[in-house]
Structure 1
Amino acid sequence: MSTAARRRPLEGDANRSERMSEQAQRGRDEALSWPQEVSHDPSMSIGAVLAVLKPEFPAVTISKLRFLEEQGLVSPRRTGSGYRMYSRADAERIRYALTAQRDSYLPLRVIREQLEDLDAGREIEPTSHARVVTRDGELVRPATGARVSAKEICELTGCTENELDDMARAGLVLADTRGRFPGRSVQVVQAAMALERHGVSARHLRRVRTSAEREADTIDQVVAPTRAQRSGAARERGAAQAAELAELYARLHAELLRSAVDELG
């Protein structure tokens, strides 16, 4: 028997040993990854994962799932053809990330660190900011037209009084003479706190407030003729038209901002 022939079985043994080592490593990784009690068998396509998450997160897309993979929050397996295959545990990790983003406005860096702690069996610190209060699964927010106190805003959002004061000085929220704020201030504070976690302070957001006020002035000019009519029905039409225009302005602003960010490369 030639030397080459004698080597072939040894090379095959080495390859088998390498494959077994890789399988063992995957097994160890799965044993460590959270949630341990959920199946790690890669049995779901990316479309199946999307279908599972859509009822709870209607805005989630396949692009978002791929992005979470790129950020290291989940590691689906690949088939021989290159298709992603997810496990039930992968789906739960994605659900955890999406929930943390939606309810606590946490940046992905913090979410990734929390998942790493869970993988290692360490307890994670409860989020002290942007606390979400729920009732029957719905966010508790003041009704349209309601006025809320500074204490109520802090309780609903998890912000501190000092943080709220900073936002008030920046003009993001405005209190009336009795020190009460419009109900929508809760959403404003939540958004400002999320930006703060990314290094955007309240004082940097003054231009956003100024831009919003300019757009509101334009909307007021458009609907003024309708509001000037004395009937209650006309005033209701004016209010509805103003709300619709506000949504259109918000949509346009969002698209223009995305386009500008895309240009940054």
Structure 2
Amino acid sequence: MTEPMPEIARLGIGKVLDEMRVEFPDLTITKIRYLESEGLLEPERTSSGYRKFSFADVERLRFILRQQRDAFWPLSHIREVLDDMDNGRVPSAGRWSPSVALAADDLPDAATFSEKPSQVRLTRADLLEAAGIDGDVLDELEAHGVIERRPNQTYYDGDDLAVANLAGEFAQLGVEPRHLRPFRAAATREVSLIRQVLDPRAGDDAQRVTADLAALSVRLHTLLVRHGLQGR
């Protein structure tokens, strides 16, 4: 628990929501209460039962929400990290930190495609929790090939988690999983082109050229979409 603070420094749950909505516009009181019920938050209670959040409580909430949004951590891992922090241990981000390498212009570069395959291993329940989507959405993503596990693969990996998270954001804007099929089709065509170019190559040179071509294709796609939206 945090050190006692003057009452004026403590916020009710409504004020906390107002404070956090600048960075997390979709946050709700229900979500804050849920995180408390999961043991991730422990705000003080008044004699009347009202929650009072200290500065440390608010920062703890901010940390939880950022790890869910930016690092795709499930609550189970966030709980472990918070437990380490509460007990003075150095937490390890471990396997829950997918990242994308960006060039100077903030577009993905070759390093993004040179990374080793994701070591994240998630069950279906882990994926649903971390991405904040329900089972029907995941079923649709798999039915339309947006999330596609390899033959005999029983787990979901970090890329699946990132895709599911993006699908959840699309859904908030009214874009359903079936509408994402063109993205899968475009990616499949780009991969086919890269493989055609690579046919004569082998070894380390193939890996380097693969990363370069993949980065160029994503950068070109981004710029073409930007150009199209500008109405030129």
> What TM-score, normalized to structure 2?
0.52
- Which structure has the higher relative contact order (CA within 8 Å, separation 6+)? 2
Q: Which has the higher helix share?
A: 1
> Is the CA contact (8 Å cut-off) linking 2:198 and 2:206 kept in structure 1?
yes
What amino acid is aligned across from residue 159 of structure 2 in structure 1?
R
Quote the residue 2:129 is aligned against: 155
Change (3 A) 1:168 1:244: same
5+ residue gaps, structure 2, are: 1-7, 10-17, 35-64, 82-90, 99-115
Q: Deviations over 1:37-78 (max 9, x none)?
A: 7xxxxxxxxxxxxxxxxxxxxxxxxxxxxxxxxxxxxxxxxx
Quote the residue 1:245 is aligned against: 213
Change (3 A) 1:222 1:182: farther
What amino acid is aligned across from residue 156 of structure 1 in structure 2?
A
Quote the residue 2:227 is aligned against: 259
> Is the CA contact (8 Å cut-off) linking 2:132 and 2:168 kept in structure 1?
no
Equivalent-residue separation in structure 2 for 1:137 and 1:259 (angstroms): 41
5+ residue gaps, structure 1, are: 1-35, 38-91, 101-110, 115-122, 228-233
- Between Structure 1 and Structure 2, whose CA radius of gyration is higher? 1
Give the count of matched residue pairs.
147
Equivalent-residue separation in structure 2 for 1:177 and 1:248 (angstroms): 32
Q: Does 1:173 align with 2:140?
A: no
Q: Does 1:144 align with 2:113?
A: no
Equivalent-residue separation in structure 1 for 2:230 and 2:173 (angstroms): 18
Equivalent-residue separation in structure 2 for 1:244 and 1:124 (angstroms): 46
Once the two structures are aligned, what percentage of the paired residues are identical?
24
Provide the alpha-carbon RMSD of the alignment.
3.5
Quote the residue 1:185 is aligned against: 160
> Is the CA contact (8 Å cut-off) linking 1:141 and 1:186 kept in structure 2?
no
Change (3 A) 1:238 1:191: same
Q: Deviations over 1:166-196 (max 9, x none)?
A: 1101110112334333431111111111111
Quote the residue 1:126 is aligned against: 31
Equivalent-residue separation in structure 1 for 2:21 and 2:208 (angstroms): 37
